[in-house]
Amino acid sequence: MSLEKKRSLISPKYKRLSVSKQCKILEIQRSSFYFKPKMESTENQELMKYIDRKFLECPFYGVKRMTTYLNLDLGYRVSEGRIRRLYHKMALEPLYPKPRLTKADKTAYKYPYLLRNLDINHKNQVWEADITYIPMFRGFMYLFAVIDVYSRNIMSWSVSNTMTVEWCKETVLDAIQKYGNPEIFNTDQGSQFTSEIFTKYAQR
């Protein structure tokens, strides 16, 4: 049981046992019951407010860039160590560019881009699909999703630890079986999406 949990069980209003005896039973120091955690200073609270605002706008800002922003743009004089501690306290982790997930097959047919200047005005007119890298506590996974561009509805999605053509195909088939064929199916030119296994179903 954590110290904070034990402290929450102690009550001065309990008449049969004094605070000292309650602390002894729970095996904690009496002084810890009266200890109040130190609050962040007014300036740190202000810094955290500005960090939060800027991080929402620029989630790729690491400690160094955020420190530079606070010092040069807002006129503070703070160290990277201080901002690093506040990042940790706020549980902020900058977003870095994800690895390139799909690679083009030079021998595959390159399909034309059909969305330039297109007026997208109804459901099932255009679907888009892509693979996203998801970091995990141990390792990583891949998320493949098919989205209707007009309604922004997710037509189908799946998670896998490999990026096989069959995996992408099955996810698309699931969307087609539920909602029918779209007029245009848009992806990048990655080998998963230009392979015959995949395009046979996307072109139906």
- Tally of CB atoms within 10 A around 83: 25
Percent of the chain clearing pLDDT 90 (strictly above): 28
Q: How many CA atoms lie within 13 A of 171 on its CB side?
A: 26
Can you give the pLDDT at residue 161? 77
Greater confidence (13 vs 150) lies with 150
CA distances from 18 to 3, 6, 10, 39, 80 (A): 18, 15, 9, 28, 46
Q: Is the pLDDT at 33 greater than 70, yes or no?
A: no
Q: In what order do the strands lie in the sheet with 126-135?
A: 154-160, 140-148, 126-135, 184-186
Quote the mean pLDDT of the chain. 79
Task: Estimate to the nearest angstrom the gap between the alpha carbon of 100 and the chain centroid.
Answer: 17
Report the pLDDT averaged over residues 34-60: 78
Task: Tell me the per-residue pLDDT of 104-156, one tens digit each, with 9 for 90 and over.
Answer: 556 656 667 788 889 999 999 999 998 876 766 555 678 899 999 999 999 99
Q: What SS3 state is found at 128?
A: strand
Burial class (CB in 10 A: 0-12, 13-18, 19+), 139: exposed
Topology of domain 126-202, CATH: Nucleotidyltransferase; domain 5 (3.30.420)
Return the structure tokens found at 183.
Answer: 């007029």
Task: Tell me the per-residue pLDDT of 75-110, one tens digit each, with 9 for 90 and over.
Answer: 999 999 999 999 887 777 787 655 555 555 566 566
Distance CA 162, CA 99 (A): 14
Residue ranges per structural domain of the chain: 3-34, 42-90, 126-202
Q: How many CA atoms lie within 13 A of 149 on its CB side?
A: 18
